[in-house]
A and B are shown apart, each in its own frame.
Chain A
Amino acid sequence: MSSNKKYWKSVEELNENSSIVETLKQNEFVEEIPTDEFLGDKEALESSSTSRRDFLKYVGFSTAAASLAACEGPVIKSIPYVVQPTEIIPGVANYYATTIANGFDFASVLVKTREGRPIKIENNTDAATNGIANARVHASVLGLYDNLRVKSPMKGDAKISWDTFMSETTSKLNGLSDGKQIVFLTATMPSPSTHKLIADFSAKYGNVKHVAYDAVSESATLDAYEAKYGTRGMANYNFSKAKTIVSIGADFLGDWQGGGFESGYAKNRIPDHGKMSRHIQFESNMSLSGANADKRIPLTPSEQKLALAKLYSYVTGVALPGSLPEGLDSAVKAAAKELIAAGSNGVVVSGIQDVNAQTTVLEINEELGSKAFDPDTTIKTRQGSDKAVMQLVADMKAGRVGALIMNGVNPMYSLPSTIDFKAGLDKVDLSIAFSMKQDETASNCDYIAATPHNLESWGDFELKSGHYSMMQPTIRPLFDTKQFQEVLLAWNGNDSTYRDFIKSYWTSNILGGSSFNKAVQDGVFVTSASSDLVEAETAETTTEDAEVAEEATVLTGGTAARALANSAKSNGMELSFYTKVGMGDGQQANNPWLQEFPDPITRTTWDNYLTISQADADRLELKNWNVANGGLNGSYANVTVNGVTLENVPVIVQPGQAKGSVGLSFGYGRKAGLKEEMQTGVNAYKLYQDFNKVQDVTISKAAGEHEFACVQLHNTLMGRGDIIKETSLEIFNTYGPEDHYHGWNKTPVVSLNHEEVKVTNPDVDLWESFDRSVGHHFNLSIDLNACTGCGACVIACHSENNVPVVGKTEMRRSRDMHWLRIDRYYSSEDSFESDNEKKENISGLGSSLSEFGEMESPAANPQVAFQPVMCQHCNHAPCETVCPVAATSHGRQGQNHMAYNRCVGTRYCANNCPYKVRRFNWFLYSKNEEFDYYMNDDLGRMVLNPDVVVRSRGVMEKCSMCIQKTQKTILDAKREGRPVKDGEFQTACSAACGNGAIVFGDINNKDSKVAELKDDKRAYHLLEHVGTKPNVVYQTKVRNTAKA
């Protein structure tokens, strides 16, 4: 059925003889397309031998060639020294003893250098004073490689040479009009040689003043001590000699009096022959000391003053006015009773920044004859005088200051009224800032003198009277920098180097015949014959400070306490400032390790915040809540002190915060000289009026919500006492660990053939056990009693193992990379023990849900416990069995190995780990601009440990038990042909722990300390009932709560 239909393509086809139709039969278009117009020269095109196909061939060939050429391995250059220094052997680490002293932290340390680069800071175990580095000191090595350091001297914003700097400043100094002062405003520098230099400078120029300025002032303590003992300093305390410690507002495990007391404290916290110290803490903010206390009494700062006065009254029997609330009074009374009972074994400390309070403390300790109290040894690591600083600002505004030379201070950031200081600075003829950063102050000065890092400098410090510490450079200055003292020498017209100056000063004044080189090698020098020097030192300082000498009338014999009692008044909410373990006074704010360091108490990173009690938060309608992705959110508050308002301060509800008080930490809110990511938090110094650590505040809710990066979202143990085993000293002494009713360290039991069998019994084990008796078998013991939660181990681990920094947003997503975390738990009832009881008594039929719900919220004044958790290196590791590519496997030495190059990132292992210690690299954190912290620039990468791989994206990582360190120890022994001695094996965390809480070693060496600890009656494994047989062992926490 053929169709006759005809389809028309166009009307033209109707026209039979249309030429168009004819043309279209042959061609696509009627008219010829004018290709020549855009192809250009037709002739050239036609004569060209390159056809289109040829062109494509060439393109294809060159692409293929390029990709083939790309298959070539890179050519790696290796450039040896021309003349190799004899002490440097590539691949072998050198250690130098030196000192980190930045005006806030002072520590004698060992610096590990590789190929001439300092890469890690370790404790100087030879140092009797400040030999234990805290988290900030451990992290300070990263500050050396800070990309934002000032790299050469500057005049305003322009770089200049040192010659120009020296000639210009010298002529300006010489040209100052008469009568105008030259003022040195420096951080605390207990450096004998520097004081000598300033004295020389003063002799040359005349009318010179030296003002020491501590951003976080201890002025009241210094004044009280100076008035009583004649030397500007602070009394030394040795907590290892104290049996009863009463602290009123002193966070002596934190930064109180410059810190460094925790190792002495920890010595007495481990029950020995049934005895341990007793620690009672009165405080408003929840501090590390409060968290470690046997008994903690929350009270507001004004109540603290009264409590201290009352304590004085109860100890000495002198009646004083004022009255405390009933409960507090009895607590003070009980504390006084215990102190009296302890007699010379008791000690009282206080952090109240009030001369009367500090005088009272000195008097109580004298009254007790406390052995721990050592007023003859003066701590010199705080020298600042509030009055001198205020006087200086006044002088500057009055135009009396001709030149202001600053070193290591940032008053434009850390003074409450920077406007006043700026106004004064504008009137100064010559302002010079010795600084590593173009910070708030330096950028407002005429000249910035670029200073080297501590690790590039010489220096000497008298940390305590007679206890000297030596600073030596561990690397040549990376940039065109000169230290303060070198410039002083030049100004003084002295052409010796600072090192030679120290040497000659020490030889004639300090060493008394001992070797200078030995002192440099040891990093420390202790002499008893220091008294004359100290006097000379003080005489010099006092003459310098003569104009602003302390004029406070010193009250004694109870009058101080009486005045203290009378001054204890408050109106409404009281704000007390504190310093965070991670940030201190804020000078290391550009250090990503410290920004990402979780605060031991709040476990929050990258922030500071207002801590407030639940009751006050409810009253002010301030809240914390968790959002869908698990992140913690909180309200904002406006905080006003004397008309100055700090807006949008994030709020965290802090269990244990005294009702009526709030806390805020210093060190955050800096902007200048910081990478954008590090500009976090709010600047609390704005409210630090008159250097008073306690301020009356009004708080109001502000709009908006703050996103915290908090790494611990669940705060209580829910009565699961087997995670942190805790008992009281009384039960510990009375009953055995497996006692039927009171047993405080029972091994979990499981049912085998309807009989209860201990989980450690091989019959209930699913696994065949390997023979681990041959060779080394490493174990790590963590004593929960000695651990104060200070976090030095966290940073030490960070720096040893090249752990990346991930930043705030990633932290908030719980993608933190810390191999070692310190879990902090609050009790939901008054103690963990009552938590356990409550859980045991929950009836399944009744209100179990609601009661478990209640247990999720911590108590108003909870007990606190810290628990460092790293990979437990299980002998029967759940992670190993689920890895599809066998990337994680077990070594004979007890370590759970992780072969990064084998890992394909399924994350099954992390899922299957009961301890949640495995960390996944969600991104490539090195050489990635998205993570511009320290692994993104050449300078920052110099801190990396060359013995440990930098992991890449998609790879699981975790604690390796520092296998690079154990392997090195073994190799050293092999090379020397000797067995490994006990104590030689160390991990980064065990080496960093000055409290002796973390002990590492070989349990196949039966004489080793860790072998003994593993079989201690306090020893237990985390989640023992899971049967993973970990190689990390914890020691039950014992709290001395019996006497309460």
Chain B
Amino acid sequence: MKKSYQSLEDNSTHNMKQVIYRNLTSKILHLGFILLLTFSTSLTAQEGDPANGKSLFNANCASCHKLDKPMTGPALRNVEARLAEEQGLDREWINAWIRNSAAMIKSGDPYATKIFAEWNNTAMTAFPQLSDQDITDILAYTAQPKPEPVVLNGGGGETPPDDRGASNNLILGALAILFGLLAIALVLVKRTLNRFADAKGIEVATKEKGLPLWKAFVQNQFLVLVTVIFLLLASGYFVYGYFMQVGIDQGYEPVQPIHYSHRIHAGDNAIDCKYCHSSARVSKHSGIPSLNICMNCHKSISEVAPETLAEGREYGVDYNAEIQRLYDAVGWDGTAYTGDSKPVKWIRIHNLPDFAYFNHSQHVSVAGIECQTCHGPVEEMEIMYQHAPLTMGWCINCHRETNVKVQDNGYYTKIHEELSKKYGVDQLTAAQMGGLECGKCHY
């Protein structure tokens, strides 16, 4: 059972990698795969190595096929058996189909033509490189039984995954009980001792009541003065601090209409920030990615791995439901776009006032500054929040400290030469370049 979890998870992560790969090699992308059809001579069927088959499947087939769900091509679970039973097609047919389906369609094979028409006349990429053994392995993998659905809410109570949590609680509980016992014991001891004292007629020394502390304090005028001054200063400090943070939304972490986890995308999957926020390269805005960008990957990824799902429960979120929200917004019914889309109303986190001009491309493309410099450890953020204060002082500090990246930029050649001579330094800060002038950001 555990093993099959493993495999599903592997499957989905591979899918993700595959997606990136797909985008790089769009050639493969464009061609759809069609079903692997198998003739099941039960002799050969079970000889394959499902582990090798799985890796082959993930490398070659997974971008268009899933085991249990139709994607670009049909679902492939038990395909060999099904074909044999329903169509009477043998392994030879499957081999021929996988290696060159187009030729089969051309030759007028009836089932080949039928399946071709059924899947939108999308031809499956030919895989002449797959050996007979490879295909056997793949088919063995597809012939594996479907894993039991994961029980999410621990209904069976048999697979609580976080043992550590439980043991922590146990230790803490034990400690609490221990301390409770100690306290009770102390009280008891004191009582007993008092009783002894009573019995032996020993007078327990009671403190003589002196001047109460507060009275002494009030009578000492100097102390009062110092305290008042201290309090005034302290409250002044806090009032100033309060007013200075008005309008600064550092740490602003609104609940978004779709729970989008930067941690999973930018962190676990290490997707480049600019894959989604592509306009940061050329525009003043980094841009909130349009939903078609999401669908580049999520067309294939409709649910997350069980472990990811479990992680989500820590944040109180069901990632699969969130993906479904994406599908609702973009109007994707699992196989096709319905055209009924509802744009997502994200809540904007980083808001600069209108009178401040900021240009992402200047910082991202020209200066080559990491997104994290201003946006913080986005790859660790489950929910995006405002990392930097985004105040003018914060901008200016950075401009004072950061050196301008002048190397290999033809624009800077002349001005760098002149300014280095003027200031007698080799590295120029943005401030020396004129980056503190009012009009550079306020117009």
B partners with A: yes
Which residue of B is nearest A85, CB measured? B290
In the complex, whether A215 has a CB less than 8 A from a CB of chain B is no
Query: CA separation between A91 and B346, bound complex, in Å?
Result: 18
Among A449-457, A663-671, A967-975, the stretch that binds chain B is A967-975
In the complex, whether B223 has a CB less than 8 A from a CB of chain A is no
In the complex, whether B246 has a CB less than 8 A from a CB of chain A is yes
> Contact at A949–B443, with CB atoms within 8 Å?
yes
Chain B residue numbers with a CB within 8 Å of A895 are: 439
A71, A80, A971: the one contacting B362 at CB < 8 Å is A971
> Contact at A90–B285, with CB atoms within 8 Å?
yes
> Contact at A82–B341, with CB atoms within 8 Å?
yes
Per-residue CB contact flags for chain A residues 959-989 toward chain B (1 = under 8 Å, else 0) read 0100110010011011111111000000000
Query: CA separation between A967 and B440, bound complex, in Å?
Result: 8
> Contact at B415–A774, with CB atoms within 8 Å?
yes
Query: CA separation between A889 and B443, bound complex, in Å?
Result: 13
- Smallest beta-carbon distance B66→chain A, Å: 24
> Contact at A892–B437, with CB atoms within 8 Å?
yes
Chain A residue numbers with a CB within 8 Å of B422 are: 771, 774
> Contact at B346–A891, with CB atoms within 8 Å?
no
In the complex, whether A897 has a CB less than 8 A from a CB of chain B is yes
> Contact at A897–B362, with CB atoms within 8 Å?
no
In the complex, whether A851 has a CB less than 8 A from a CB of chain B is no
Chain A residue numbers with a CB within 8 Å of B341 are: 82
- Asked if A978 meets B410 with Cβ closer than 8 Å, knowing A83-B291, A900-B442, A949-B354, the reply is yes
Which residue of B is nearest A889, CB measured? B438
A92, A963, A977, A980: the one contacting B409 at CB < 8 Å is A977
> Contact at A82–B438, with CB atoms within 8 Å?
no
> Contact at B438–A899, with CB atoms within 8 Å?
yes
- Asked if A82 meets B330 with Cβ closer than 8 Å, knowing A774-B418, A900-B355, A948-B443, the reply is yes
> Contact at B283–A89, with CB atoms within 8 Å?
yes
- Smallest beta-carbon distance B428→chain A, Å: 11
- Smallest beta-carbon distance A902→chain B, Å: 7
Which residue of B is nearest A78, CB measured? B348
In the complex, whether B343 has a CB less than 8 A from a CB of chain A is yes
Chain B residue numbers with a CB within 8 Å of A78 are: 288, 345-348
Query: CA separation between A898 and B441, bound complex, in Å?
Result: 11
- Smallest beta-carbon distance B288→chain A, Å: 4
In the complex, whether A79 has a CB less than 8 A from a CB of chain B is yes
Chain A residue numbers with a CB within 8 Å of B156 are: none
- Asked if A79 meets B346 with Cβ closer than 8 Å, knowing A889-B438, A899-B442, A979-B413, the reply is yes
Chain B residue numbers with a CB within 8 Å of A77 are: 345-348
> Contact at B291–A974, with CB atoms within 8 Å?
no
Query: CA separation between A979 and B413, bound complex, in Å?
Result: 8
- Asked if A80 meets B288 with Cβ closer than 8 Å, knowing A91-B283, A893-B434, the reply is yes
A89, A773, A947, A977: the one contacting B287 at CB < 8 Å is A89
Per-residue CB contact flags for chain A residues 248-267 toward chain B (1 = under 8 Å, else 0) read 00000000000000000000
Query: CA separation between A950 and B442, bound complex, in Å?
Result: 12
> Contact at A91–B289, with CB atoms within 8 Å?
no
- Smallest beta-carbon distance A555→chain B, Å: 62
In the complex, whether B361 has a CB less than 8 A from a CB of chain A is yes
Chain B residue numbers with a CB within 8 Å of A83 are: 290-292
Query: CA separation between A963 and B440, bound complex, in Å?
Result: 8
Chain B residue numbers with a CB within 8 Å of A92 are: 279, 282-283
> Contact at A73–B249, with CB atoms within 8 Å?
yes
> Contact at B347–A960, with CB atoms within 8 Å?
no
In the complex, whether A928 has a CB less than 8 A from a CB of chain B is no
> Contact at A979–B414, with CB atoms within 8 Å?
yes
- Asked if A897 meets B439 with Cβ closer than 8 Å, knowing A79-B344, A82-B291, the reply is yes
Which B360-393 residues have a C-beta within 8 angstroms of A? Answer: 360-362, 365-366
- Smallest beta-carbon distance B64→chain A, Å: 22
Chain A residue numbers with a CB within 8 Å of B21 are: none
- Smallest beta-carbon distance A903→chain B, Å: 10
Chain A residue numbers with a CB within 8 Å of B287 are: 80, 89-91
Which residue of A is nearest B434, CB measured? A892
B interface, how many residues as a size bin? 35 or more
In the complex, whether A60 has a CB less than 8 A from a CB of chain B is no
Query: CA separation between A488 and B442, bound complex, in Å?
Result: 51
> Contact at B411–A91, with CB atoms within 8 Å?
no
How many of A's residues come within 8 Å of B, CB to CB?
Answer: 50
- Asked if A774 meets B354 with Cβ closer than 8 Å, knowing A83-B291, A92-B279, the reply is no
Chain A residue numbers with a CB within 8 Å of B249 are: 73
Query: CA separation between A975 and B284, bound complex, in Å?
Result: 13
Per-residue CB contact flags for chain A residues 87-118 toward chain B (1 = under 8 Å, else 0) read 00111100000000000000000000000000
Query: CA separation between A194 and B211, bound complex, in Å?
Result: 106
Per-residue CB contact flags for chain B residues 247-277 toward chain A (1 = under 8 Å, else 0) read 1010000100000000000000000000000
Per-residue CB contact flags for chain B residues 321-350 toward chain A (1 = under 8 Å, else 0) read 000000001110000000001011111100
B279, B283, B419, B434: the one contacting A891 at CB < 8 Å is B434
In the complex, whether B357 has a CB less than 8 A from a CB of chain A is yes
> Contact at B411–A977, with CB atoms within 8 Å?
yes
Chain B residue numbers with a CB within 8 Å of A80 are: 287-291, 343-344, 346
- Asked if A91 meets B285 with Cβ closer than 8 Å, knowing A78-B346, A899-B439, A978-B411, the reply is yes
> Contact at A973–B351, with CB atoms within 8 Å?
no
- Asked if A891 meets B343 with Cβ closer than 8 Å, knowing A82-B330, A89-B283, the reply is no
Chain A residue numbers with a CB within 8 Å of B443 are: 897-898, 947-949, 960, 963-964, 967
A75, A897, A898, A978: the one contacting B254 at CB < 8 Å is A75
> Contact at B348–A82, with CB atoms within 8 Å?
no
> Contact at A964–B347, with CB atoms within 8 Å?
no
> Contact at A84–B290, with CB atoms within 8 Å?
yes
Chain B residue numbers with a CB within 8 Å of A900 are: 355, 442
A82, A774, A947: the one contacting B357 at CB < 8 Å is A947
> Contact at B411–A979, with CB atoms within 8 Å?
yes
Query: CA separation between A774 and B412, bound complex, in Å?
Result: 11
> Contact at A949–B290, with CB atoms within 8 Å?
no
> Contact at B282–A901, with CB atoms within 8 Å?
no
In the complex, whether A66 has a CB less than 8 A from a CB of chain B is no
In the complex, whether B359 has a CB less than 8 A from a CB of chain A is yes
In the complex, whether A775 has a CB less than 8 A from a CB of chain B is yes
B279, B348, B366: the one contacting A91 at CB < 8 Å is B279
Query: CA separation between A75 and B345, bound complex, in Å?
Result: 11
> Contact at A964–B409, with CB atoms within 8 Å?
no
In the complex, whether A81 has a CB less than 8 A from a CB of chain B is yes
B283, B413, B442: the one contacting A90 at CB < 8 Å is B283
> Contact at A76–B343, with CB atoms within 8 Å?
no
Chain A residue numbers with a CB within 8 Å of B284 are: 91, 947
> Contact at A773–B418, with CB atoms within 8 Å?
yes
> Contact at B439–A960, with CB atoms within 8 Å?
yes
In the complex, whether B154 has a CB less than 8 A from a CB of chain A is no
Chain A residue numbers with a CB within 8 Å of B348 are: 76-78
Query: CA separation between A899 and B246, bound complex, in Å?
Result: 21
Chain B residue numbers with a CB within 8 Å of A977 are: 408-411
- Smallest beta-carbon distance A240→chain B, Å: 37
- Smallest beta-carbon distance B29→chain A, Å: 17
Chain A residue numbers with a CB within 8 Å of B424 are: none
Which of B287, B290, B443 has most chain A Cβ within 10 Å? B443
Chain A residue numbers with a CB within 8 Å of B438 are: 887, 889, 891, 897-899, 902
Which residue of A is nearest B330, CB measured? A82
Chain B residue numbers with a CB within 8 Å of A897 are: 437-439, 442-443
Query: CA separation between A963 and B434, bound complex, in Å?
Result: 14
Binding site for B on A (CB under 8 A): 71, 73, 75-84, 89-92, 771, 773-775, 887, 889, 891-893, 895, 897-902, 947-950, 960, 963-964, 967, 970-971, 973-980
Known: A80-B290, A949-B355, A964-B357. 6 other contacts (CB 8 A): A77-B347, A82-B291, A949-B442, A971-B359, A975-B366, A979-B414
Q: What are 20 inter-chain pairs, A to B, with CB distance below 8 A?
A: A73-B247, A73-B249, A76-B351, A77-B345, A78-B347, A80-B289, A81-B291, A82-B290, A83-B292, A90-B283, A773-B418, A775-B415, A889-B439, A895-B439, A897-B437, A897-B443, A898-B442, A898-B443, A974-B412, A979-B411
Closest 6 CB pairs between A and B? Answer: A897-B439, A91-B283, A84-B290, A81-B290, A91-B285, A78-B348
